[in-house]
Structure formats: C-alpha cells, structure tokens
Amino acid sequence: MDENYTVKEWPPGHHAQHSLMDGYCMFNHVAVAARYAQRKHHIQRSAAEGEWVGGGDGVSVLYFSIHRYEQGRFWPHLKASNWSTTGFGQGQGYTINVPWNQVGMRDADYISAFLHILLPVAFEVLGFQPQLVLVAAGFDALQGDPKGKMSATPAGFAQLTHLLMGLAGGKLILSLEGGYNLCSLAEGVSASLHCLLGDPCPMLESPVVPCPSAQASISCTLEALEPFWGFLERPAETLEEDSVQENEEEPWEPPGRPVLAWPVVQARTGLVYDQQMMSHCNLWDNHHPETPQRILRIMCHLEELGLAARCLILPVRPATDTELLTCHSAEYLERLRATEKMKTRELHREGANFDSIYICPSTFTCAKLATGAACRLVEAVLSGEVLNGIAVVRPPGHHAEHDAACGFCFFNSVAVAARHAQAISGHALRVLYLSLHRFDRGTFFPMGDEGASSQIGRAEGTGFTVNVPWNGPRVGDADYLAAWLRLVLPIAYEFNPELVLVSAGFDAARGDPLGGCQVSPEGYAHLTHLLMGLANGHIMLILEGGYNLASISESMAACTHSLLGDPPPQLSLLRPPHAGALASITETIQVHRRYWRSLRVTKGDDKEGHSSSKLVTSKVPQQANPGLSKRISTQKRKVLEAGLAKATSAFSAKESTPEQTKSETAKVVLIQGQSSERATGEATLDQALSEETVGDTTMDQATSEDSVRGATLDQANSAAATRKVMLAQTTAQEAVEGAEPIQTSLASCTDNQTLAASPVPEATAPLSPSQLIGSLSPLELHSKAKEAAEPQTPREESLLGEAAGGQDVNNSKLTQKLGDLALSDELIIYAVTPLPWCPHLGEVCPIPATGLDVTQPCEDCGTFTENWVCLSCYQVYCSRYVNAHMIRHHETSGHPLVLSYTDLSTWCYTCQAYVHHQDLLDVKNIIHQKKFGEDIPHPH
C-alpha cells in the first residue's frame, strides 16, 4: 500500500460548511475524508461506530490552521479565526489558529509556526498514534497568487510536506484546495509531490527568519494553547531591553521565481566501513567500553535488516597528513605516529599521559582510517555520488583536541571532514557549531566550563557556537525534541546550511553505561528525518560514542532507515520536557537571542494589539478520573535508544461550530484510531478551513548547526568565514581552532514537573496524552514543580532505584498490548536491563577475610528484611522499602555500589542503574553459596 498521496480535485472544499456553500466550496472534502477514515478503518481500535460529538469510541482530531486574517478585516471576517479560539468543551486545545495579520508572509514564517506550535503539539498527540494526516493544501499562499498575496515558495511547500511526513508513519494526504496563479500552483504541487516521492527538499531563499508580525501571531497562539499542551510550556523568560541587537531588517524583495532542480545521484545513501578498524583494542582491559565489537555489531545489524544492501558501500582510505593537519598540530601527529613502534609497556605509559586513552600498535592506523572514512563520505556527497551517508568508524573523534587525545578519541574526524569539504569547494567555510550534551554544571566528563551556554565562540565566530548543557541524567526524546524545535531548527533554518555533518553520539541512547540518557531508536530516527530537510538533503552521520552494543546497533539502524527515505517509526507516548531541560534550553535561547532573530519568539509577545481579543473557551466537563490531570509521567527518553512503553489512550473528537470558518488556511488534520474511556475531545473538521495558507502539520525534532555547503558537524570549529557548515553533536567534544572549545556528552534530567494550571477562568485543561501516561506508573509518584536549576537530592533520586524492583520504572517498563484492550486493561510488564559496565567498578573492594554473613541484620535498625551490603566497606543496611538506611549510608560515605542479599542484584547510586559485570561475579557467587549451598549456575 502506498504511504502517501496527492489528491488533485476541483472545486475546493475548505470553506464549505455543514449546510452552506461558501468561498468557491461545495463539499468539505477533507472533513468527509476524515469521517470516511473513521468509519472505514477505526475498527482496529474500537468496536462501536464513533461520532464526532460525544465520548464514545471514535477518532481524535487535531485541527491546525495558518491563514490570512488581518485582525478580522480579511474575508470571511470571523473572530473565531483568531488565535484566541482554541475549541469548545472537551475539544478545548485541539483547535489551533495562527492568524497572519499582514500580507507577504514567507517560508520562514510558516516554518516557524510549524516548529514552535504544530510539531510540539503533534509530538504530544503522537502518544495516541495518529494513523493519518490530512492536509487541505492551500496553494494560494504561494508568491504571485492574486488572492492570498503571500510570498511562500514551492521550496517552502516541500519543506512543510517533509515535516509532515514524520507523522503517522508517513501516511499523509495532500488535498488540493486554493491556488489561483496557475504557474505557481503547478510548481507548488510539483515540489510537494517531489517530497512525497522521497526527493530531498530544495534549499530555501534567504533570509529564513520569521518577520516580527509572524512572531507576534505565533507568540499569542502559544499563550492561548499553553494551558492544554505540556510540550508548549515555557519557563518565565526575562529579556533586558538592551540584550537584543535589534538590527533593522533590510527590505526584502521576493526573488524571481526560481527553477527548482532536484539532484540526480547514483545512489541515495553511502556506507563507509572497514573491519580493519577493529584492530584498535585495549591490551590491558578486555571489558573497556570502547570495544572493537561496537562497529561489528552495528554492521551485522544493518546486514540483518537488509539496510546495508540498500546502501552504496564506499571504500575506505586513510586520512592524509595534509587533511589531519587542518585541525591538529604537526607535533601531535608525529607523537601518535611514533606509537606504531612502541612496546607494550611504552604504549601503556603513553596512553596514561592523556585523559581516558588507551593505545595499541594499530591505534594510529585505525584513527587515520576513521578520519579518512569521514573525508571519503564528504567526497561522495559533494560529488553527487550519493545524497547522504553514514560512516561506521572507530576510534571516535569528538573529544580529540588540537594537540591531545582525550576521551577515547585521537583525531577529530568530523572537524577534519568539514575542512576537507572546504578544500573541495575552494571556499572559506562558515561553521555553525551546535551541541546538546551532558554537562552537570561542569562536573561531567571532561569537566570544565567549555560546554556552558555562555561559551558562544570568539571574534567573528561569536554566536556560532551554541551549547545546550543538560545538568543531569535521563534526558530523553521529549527534551531533545523541545531543544530541536525551539532552538536547533530555528537557528539551522536561519543559517541555511549547504552541508550537514553529524557526530552521531549514541551514548545518549537509553541503556548506555556512560551517557545516562534515555533517547530511543525511534527518537534518533525522527531527529535524522528533521535534519534531512536542510542542505538539499546532504547529511552525513559519523559514528562517535555509544557503548551499549544493542543500543548503538538499533539506533544506527533507525538513522539509516531515515536516510534511505523510510518514514520514521511512531514514537511512544511522550511526557512533556522536564523543567531542568527547559531551563537549559531557555538559558541558551536567552544567550543567543541577540545573534539569531529566529529565537525571538516568546509566549505572550503581543506586538500587534492581539490582546483585544478574548480567549474563547468554555468550561470543560468533569474528567472521568480527575486525579490523572495532576499526574505526570516521569518517563524520559533520549535521542536514540530502546523504545519506551506505549500507552493507547482514548480521545473522542468534539466538533466545533460551523461558524469557525477560517480565511486562507492550510489545514492539517491528524486522525488516529483509539479505544474508549477517558475521552478528551478535540476540534472537528466541521470547522471549514479557508484558502490562502500553506498546509501544515507537525514535525519531530531536528538538530543542526552550521554547514559546509550545508553540512552539520556535531563537534567542529565555529570559525568565521563565508561558506556554511553545520555541526551537530551529541557527545562531548572540543572545537578545534576557531570557536571556543565545546565539550558535550548527552545526558538527561531527573526533574519531575507538573503541568501548569489553566489560566482561563472556569476552564479545566483537558488531559493531554502526556498526562495520561502518568496513570501507568505503579509507584504513582505525583510530580512536584521544582526549581529548574536545582538537581534532585540523593534522597529524591533514591526513589528511582536501589531495592529489588526499585529501578526507575520508566527505564524498564515495557507495555505489551494484547489485542485492542483499552488503556485500563493493558498488561504492564516490568523488566530490568542492567548496565554491562559502570565507571565506578573500581570502588569495589576485596571481600573481607572474615567473609560475608547473608543473615546479618541492618546495622542501624536491626531488621532482617531486605538488606543490602556495601561493596566498598561491606557494611549491611536495609533498603528504601524498609527504613532506607543503605541510602543514608551512601549519602554519608559516597560509596556507589551495593549488592542485594535478597536477589543478588547490584545497584550503583551514582549511575542510578543496576549493573552486571564480571568484576562482581566473585562476591555474587559467595553470597549464592551462602544462601543456596552451590555456585551460581549461569554466572554470565
């Protein structure tokens, strides 16, 4: 079955009302199609026929419209088309209006509305697994249309279509509505069709910055919708008058109609890999996390899934000295070359001279191959041999400095690749370096303040280094998506790169023993998809960190699927971003708002007198379970890793009144089948949409930075120049020359937060998908609003684990749906996947000569129930389920690892995770002998 469609039909239908023809329209095609989808296909989720009004089984509808309004002066002059109308009854929050109050709105204005409003809401709705996206495609928003009088381009329509294709598994229908300039209409439809067929999006005309009028409209819409959607919540933002450089906008004349060209390439995705890179190994520690098996496991998984066969395999070559010297010193290069002839003892001594480095005789050769592979991929992309590509390489490079190895890294492969792109193009490069990384206020590896948001680059590169520092673990998909949509993508579109290089650090994946984050493979797929809208699709992913073999294999496969043009998989139900993550994002926006005009969208920024319109709301009926509205999921996911539990919730569509007709809209309708119960209605399609807008929908998350001819580099130099390179990074790294050093390594946050109460008098915000997931937590931890900047105390963190079964349920919960059971009937299964390695294993001390007594009581309270032994001092205390004396012992002593006398599980307080490693087998076996009189049957 085809995944998407373009429907060419006439007459249009978006203005047609229930019992009235209007605005060239007789029947509302999109509304009828939505009803047909409901009645024909919702059998998968519901046995009873759904109705648009009511709380039974049905279809959930989100209605989004961008349209010409001009404070109500534009036809059909409806107040209900203003931002203040958000739906009625149980449908409150599901009608989204973005009114344009002047003509000439450009691609950047529409894209900004998508990034700040539609996509965040769509990601929250994604928890309901929308099955279809219907777009009333109003091509009268195109430049030259006599009625719309807007200035969107065909390339802009392609971008919006691409963003929509990240939803509903790519099931997208564009239905032709307005459009009255035949030439621009044909070009707009052609561009959208190219995108639906998987062709890359053409680059946009600069400037890709929303105008002040668009920013004002978007800000007011955000203000109206924030009570209903956790993804739209924003911390209070303070902005000093003189903190923004209000450069006067230069008059912008719409360019002549460009002739769009789509690249012709021999193959879509290139793959660079050489098994020889496995010869770099640790001669002294077989269990070091940066193991040769990392790249082998990834390649085996790509082959198992048939992905490798779909790629063009590119030969690997070593980097030349000339290429390496663009980022590293000659002295450092010779120092590494000398290691090829060193003896084992000399190699060990030389490795100890650096931070977190091991060296073997083949290290220099492998490091040159890894960097050369990245350069080879640049050559293939820039020559048109392939459109995009991946490099499965090691050792990684993101921590490597100008004259020193660091953090498993020797040569900064991505930075060298950016310089190589510059050499190929013959132009100086402008590099935008953007990094999202674990920072922990400077205490996370490699420590220091280089990764702080205040580090913004130097000299002409000021403002081109963008750091988003996560100040705690467990940052997940929701947090990265929020950063993508609010910060990364707006800057990326404004920069308009020509090449995107990504330091693909999968140590942000859930289950990684070092990163401590919770990004899912699905999340990585969406991040990759969003990046693919940049730089004519010229994007390269170079493997960096990631030390859980299963996680990195699944994550790289997910990214490869996206690069090959496969639709991103649907995300599990997302909780809203954590308060701590939002604080980090907001902090970075505050710092960079003076340099990037696209960041000057804030809620309630009313510059055009919109406040004269009152918010149109009504009291929401009592929810079936009021307690759910105060409960929020503590579940967190990071960019690419194991998927989290999914919850299917019931939403019913609540119709809006026919009078809610909009002028000039691009309508987007997200439809999803659903089970009944706990219905929170949404806006209906009976709200006839109007002409003159670009069809919009929601997008996932995107990352990016500057580009070399459009390349995003995770870690790279942000130097001033004239060509653009985008650097996107998910692991810690220092920029080599140019910008200030940036250190990054993905992390997540442990802060819980509650949704803000609705400021609308007598109105109760309906339950969003992210709120409903709170009901799945067996601990029923009610979230409390915390200071965004304050980390959790050890006492609070201890609630997430330590006792058997006490690990954060959000890390281990797997939801298995049996048939089409309603949410309340779902079978919840809990599983724990321990870390295969932990950096605190060195804290484990030898077993005392006196041995261990598994019957020993707690040394504080004397209980014999559920005791744990500290693996540093071997004192015995009770678990948090008893009197929490082991937690207090950890807080006092700082000893990280403890072992349960009950089930032999090992918990690391510092990593906040269970651990199973060979170094723990001796003590586990002794305890097993004491308890059962025999050795552990299967110690591994």
Positions annotated as catalytic residues are 15, 399
- Count CB-CB contacts under 10 A for residue 898: 26
What distance in Å separates the CA atoms of residue 444 and residue 434, rounded to the nearest whole number?
A: 18
What distance in Å separates the CA atoms of residue 672 and residue 650, rounded to the nearest whole number?
A: 10
N-term to C-term CA, the chain: 45
**Helices vs. strands in the chain: H and E counts, helices first:** 23, 22
**Both tokens assigned to 675:** 């089970």
What distance in Å separates the CA atoms of residue 930 and residue 940, rounded to the nearest whole number?
A: 19
What distance in Å separates the CA atoms of residue 42 and residue 413, rounded to the nearest whole number?
A: 49
Beta bridge partners, 913, equal 908
Phi, psi of 859 (to 5 degrees): -70, -10
Q: What SS3 class is residue 723? A: strand
What distance in Å separates the CA atoms of residue 410 and residue 393, rounded to the nearest whole number?
A: 13
What distance in Å separates the CA atoms of residue 559 and residue 390, rounded to the nearest whole number?
A: 9
What distance in Å separates the CA atoms of residue 552 and residue 572, rounded to the nearest whole number?
A: 19
What distance in Å separates the CA atoms of residue 76 and residue 434, rounded to the nearest whole number?
A: 44
Q: At what angle do helices 549-563 and 521-531 cross, to 10 degrees?
A: 30
Under a CB-based contact definition with an 8 Å cutoff, are residues 725 and 713 in contact? yes
H/E stretch holding 674: none
193's CB contacts (< 8 A; 6+ apart) are 6
Task: List helix spans (H) across 226-320.
Answer: 293-304, 307-310
What distance in Å separates the CA atoms of residue 373 and residue 395, rounded to the nearest whole number?
A: 12
**Measured CA distances, 524 to 12, 202, 437, 553, 555 (Å):** 38, 23, 15, 12, 6
Nearest CA to 326 out of 752, 852, 725 is that of 725
Q: What SS3 class is residue 131? A: coil
Torsion of CA 877, 882, 883, 888, to 10 degrees: 50
User: What are the strands, taking DSSP E only, across 50-122?
Assistant: 60-68, 95-100
H/E stretch holding 127: none
DSSP letter at 846 equals P
Under a CB-based contact definition with an 8 Å cutoff, are residues 509 and 737 in contact? no
What distance in Å separates the CA atoms of residue 450 and residue 117, rounded to the nearest whole number?
A: 32
**Both tokens assigned to 621:** 């009926």
Under a CB-based contact definition with an 8 Å cutoff, are residues 427 and 761 in contact? no
Phi, psi of 723 (to 5 degrees): -105, 160
What distance in Å separates the CA atoms of residue 95 and residue 682, rounded to the nearest whole number?
A: 7
Nearest CA to 529 out of 574, 564, 482, 487 is that of 564
H/E stretch holding 113: helix 107-113
> CA-based Rg of the chain, rounded to a whole angstrom?
28
Task: List helix spans (H) across 716-768.
Answer: none
Nearest CA to 273 out of 304, 307, 308 is that of 308
DSSP string, 758-772: P-STT--PPPPHHHH
Using a 10 angstrom Cβ sphere, with 0-12 exposed, 13-18 middle and 19 or more buried, the burial of residue 70 is: middle
**Both tokens assigned to 848:** 């005392």
